Amino acid sequence: MEADCVERQCDMEFLSELQDKVAEADCVLSMACGAGIQYIAERYPDKPVYPAVDTTFIGVNKEEVGHYEERCRACGNCVLGETGGICPVTMCAKGLFNGPCGGTSGESCEVNPDQPCAWRQIYERLAAQDRLDSILKISEPQEWTGTVPRTTVQPGYEKEGQGG
């Protein structure tokens, strides 16, 4: 088995570097996340492409080696600047943008007693930074359209007639 490494598997420009090697291979085993695996399968549609990893979430290495915890769902409405850097979408069982919900039990979440209440943590983080005014701001309802796949264009790359 031959192995290779590209700088980014989510960019066609870099995938082209694999042209000769993929042509000689029976199949491709990709260690990228699910996005990279799909893109290499799209770039080389005549080759079977297999995932070497099981993409689960955007997370962090938690406490022990090999233990990971989700931290972001890529919601597109990031409020971390207002919540002391704690994500209410992934860390609050109800995904509340305005919290707490009223069911907080001590330091714990009412949905899962083993999980700290995210909004209590947000309160404590903001209090420590003397920024409690942030928690009083009401977040407007989010546009959860459910439309997939989502796309985005960075403002500097918009062509005339595109964008907002």
49 part of the interface to ligand SF4, by CB under 6 A = no
# of chain residues touching ligand SF4 (CB under 6 A): 26
Position among 21, 73, 131, 150 found at the interface with ligand SF4 (CB under 6 A): 73
84 part of the interface to ligand SF4, by CB under 6 A = no
Of 42-50, 59-67, 96-104, 150-158: span binding ligand SF4 (CB under 6 A): 96-104
Position among 6, 72, 125, 139 found at the interface with ligand SF4 (CB under 6 A): 72
Strand residues in 6-132 grouped as ranges (E):
28-30, 49-51, 58-61, 68-72
User: Taking Cα atoms as reference points, which of 114, 122, 130, 127 lies closest to residue 97?
Assistant: 122
Measure Cα distances from 138 to 82, 101, 104, 133 in Å.
11, 13, 19, 11
Helices (H), 17-101: 19-24, 34-43, 88-91
Residue the block writes with tokens 């990228």: 32
15 part of the interface to ligand SF4, by CB under 6 A = no
For ligand SF4, the binding residues (CB under 6 A) are 72-75, 77-80, 87, 89-90, 92-94, 96, 99-101, 103-104, 109-111, 117-119
